[in-house]
Amino acid sequence: MSAVRIPHPALSAWPASQRDALPLALWTSAAIAEATGGTASGDFQCAGIEIDSRDVRNGDLFFALKGEAMDGHRFIDKAFENGAAAAVVDRPVPWPHVLVEDTTAALHALAAAARTRSKAIRIGVTGSVGKTGVKEAIFAALDRCSFGATHRSVRSYNNHVGVPLSLARMPARSRFGVFEMGMNHAGEISGLTTQVKPNVAVITTIAPAHIENLGSMEAIADAKAEIFAGLEPGGIAVIPADSEYFGQLRDRAQALGARVVSFGRDGAADVRLLDTIPSADGGSLVTADMGDTRVCYTVAEPGEHWIANSLAVMAAVRAVGGDLGAAGLALAEMGGLKGRGARHRIPAPGGKALLIDESYNANPASMRATLRQLGHTPATRRIAVLGSMKELGDFAPKFHAQLAELLAEAQVDYAILVGEEMRALARHLGKGGAGALAGGLSFAHCDGPAEAIAALEDFGLTAGDAVLVKGSNSIGLGRLVAHFTGRQSGRDD
């Protein structure tokens, strides 16, 4: 007599959905051709999309994009060597492909088709500081409660290429999509938000990032508020109540028909911070009032800025009908992202030192937040490796010199300043004597990451040191992080 198999209750109770009838493959040749108006060379299916042949994996669709200095068609053979299933091209190739007139236009068309077919609830995230971390936290929260049916833009794919690429990668079965939008100039977010057409738009904060191109803080707020223009009818704008530019953001959102949900410490905030207690591992225990309910959760990421970020996450998750409990768990388990807060324990004489990797980006607001957190980090000595903050224009000397006060407040023992713009800070600190920081503490100024590595080696790390590495990505301090963490892999959890 054969055994009778009884389905496990958890499996038999798995929620059915109309999305189950949608295709498992990301794209078929017929769907790509229909979306782009191109001609397919034959039948094929694709599991992913790439625009860099070096990143192609088995089953990917390679888009041969053409730029001012580079033509992706030169790398077609490399893409197929790496396992591409097909390519989107503007000329015939001896590989499976879809032939189109313009590959960039085809990518935008495929993105629009992905947005239309999935019916996913979409969240757009922008802001001067914190947008990548908030995007990742919202994704983690919604991915839990959607049984893995949440999609998001990876890395910092937030520009005129990254956003349509992220949209085109969204599976048909997605329930939620979370997209980051960045900008350097006015008008850029307008183009991105009309592609995403978010149901919810989040602005994390307004700070003097890209002020060189925009000229004033008010102009920065206006540029970020462009995200509201793409909101679907009945959309929700999530904005920081504590910002000096709250009224400007609120009025812009309401003028476009959005419902405003505010977050912060302000007494009138819709998602309002009630209390916060530092946790033993450097994070925070947060209690927030959401109007008709209160939530208490742990934020694993250290720093005051992450308390505010967590309120934005909670507001966004609730706005799309997500699970607040799942959001709390996601915030409790999040680790720092590479270049954006990842913590490494690295070998040092007598034990281990802590290296905090904030090497991907820097502006005055994020410098303030991370230096403040360094000051709260228990350490034998505190060392700050600071790279230039870019796109500050005529404001650059002032903003760099102002870091002297933050270094003193953080009780930094040694500072390594990297890049041309950091000369303003070096001159300010040097007024107290050659190589002297406030209180007689020492610093060094370096032209680039190689010199900074040598300076930190010469200074010598010891057990219990805490090293903050922060600067604009173009300074290349990721090389310093790789140098010191390469000795031993691992992130502090």
Strand partners, 354: 345, 466
Q: How confident is the model at residue 34 (pLDDT cuts 50, 70, 90)?
A: very high
Q: What is the pLDDT of residues 369-423, one digit of tens each?
A: 899 999 999 999 999 999 999 988 888 999 999 999 999 999 999 999 999 999 9
Q: What local confidence, expressed as pLDDT, does residue 17 receive? A: 64
Q: How many C-alpha atoms does 124 have within 13 Å on its Cβ side?
A: 34
Residue 171 backbone dihedrals phi, psi, to 5 degrees:
-65, 150
Q: Cα–Cα distances in Å, from 330 out to 6, 8, 14, 43, 310? A: 33, 27, 22, 40, 10
**Look-up: residue for tokens 């009945």?**
234
3-state percent helix, strand, coil for the chain, nearest multiple of 5: 40, 25, 40
Q: Which amino acid is at 393?
A: G
Strand partners, 151: 177
Q: What local confidence, expressed as pLDDT, does residue 136 receive? A: 94
Q: Which residue has the higher pLDDT, 23 or 479?
A: 479
Q: How confident is the model at residue 361 (pLDDT cuts 50, 70, 90)?
A: confident
Q: Which residue has the higher pLDDT, 282 or 178?
A: 178
Q: How confident is the model at residue 434 (pLDDT cuts 50, 70, 90)?
A: very low
What is the CB neighbour count within 10 angstroms for residue 356?
A: 24
What six digits make up the tokens of 394? 């005529």
Q: What local confidence, expressed as pLDDT, does residue 493 receive? A: 34
468 contacts 370 by C-beta, under 8 angstroms:
yes
Tell me the average pLDDT across 418-432.
89
Q: How far, in Å, CA of 181 to CA of 325, rounded?
A: 27
pTM of the model: 0.83
Residue 323 has pLDDT above 90, yes or no: yes
Residue 55 has pLDDT above 60, yes or no: yes
149 contacts 176 by C-beta, under 8 angstroms:
yes
37-41, 50-54, 348-352, 483-487: range with lowest mean pLDDT: 483-487
What six digits make up the tokens of 133? 């971390």
**Look-up: residue for tokens 């309002």?**
272
Query: How many residues in the chain?
Result: 493
Q: How far, in Å, CA of 122 to CA of 198, rounded?
A: 5
Closest CA to 50 of 59, 64, 66, 62: 62
Q: How far, in Å, CA of 159 to CA of 151, rounded?
A: 17
Q: What domains are there in the chain, each with its CATH number?
A: 21-101 (3.40.1390.10), 119-333 (3.40.1190.10), 342-485 (3.90.190.20)
Q: What local confidence, expressed as pLDDT, does residue 303 receive? A: 84
What is the CB neighbour count within 10 angstroms for residue 242?
A: 15
Contacts of 297 (CB under 8 A, 6+ apart): 285, 286, 310, 314, 327, 328, 329, 331, 332
What is the CB neighbour count within 10 angstroms for residue 277?
A: 10
Q: What local confidence, expressed as pLDDT, does residue 490 receive? A: 40
Residue 68 has pLDDT above 70, yes or no: yes
Q: What local confidence, expressed as pLDDT, does residue 491 receive? A: 38
Q: What local confidence, expressed as pLDDT, does residue 339 receive? A: 79
Q: How far, in Å, CA of 336 to CA of 348, rounded?
A: 22
Residue 33 has pLDDT above 90, yes or no: yes
Residue 296 backbone dihedrals phi, psi, to 5 degrees:
-130, 130
Q: How far, in Å, CA of 88 to CA of 51, rounded?
A: 10
Estimate to the nearest angstrom the gap between the alpha carbon of 463 and the chain centroid. Answer: 31
Q: Which amino acid is at 194?
A: T
Residue 440 has pLDDT above 60, yes or no: no
Q: What is the pLDDT of residues 227-244, one digit of tens each?
A: 999 999 999 999 999 999
Q: What local confidence, expressed as pLDDT, does residue 24 receive? A: 74
Q: Cα–Cα distances in Å, from 5 out to 2, 10, 14? A: 9, 14, 17
Q: What local confidence, expressed as pLDDT, does residue 57 receive? A: 96
Q: What local confidence, expressed as pLDDT, does residue 249 receive? A: 98
Residue 492 has pLDDT above 60, yes or no: no
Q: Sheet of 259-264: strands edge to edge?
A: 150-152, 176-180, 121-126, 200-203, 236-240, 259-264, 271-278, 284-289, 294-299
Strand partners, 286: 276, 297
Q: What is the pLDDT of residues 176-230, one digit of tens each?
A: 999 999 988 889 999 999 999 999 999 999 988 777 777 899 999 999 999 999 9
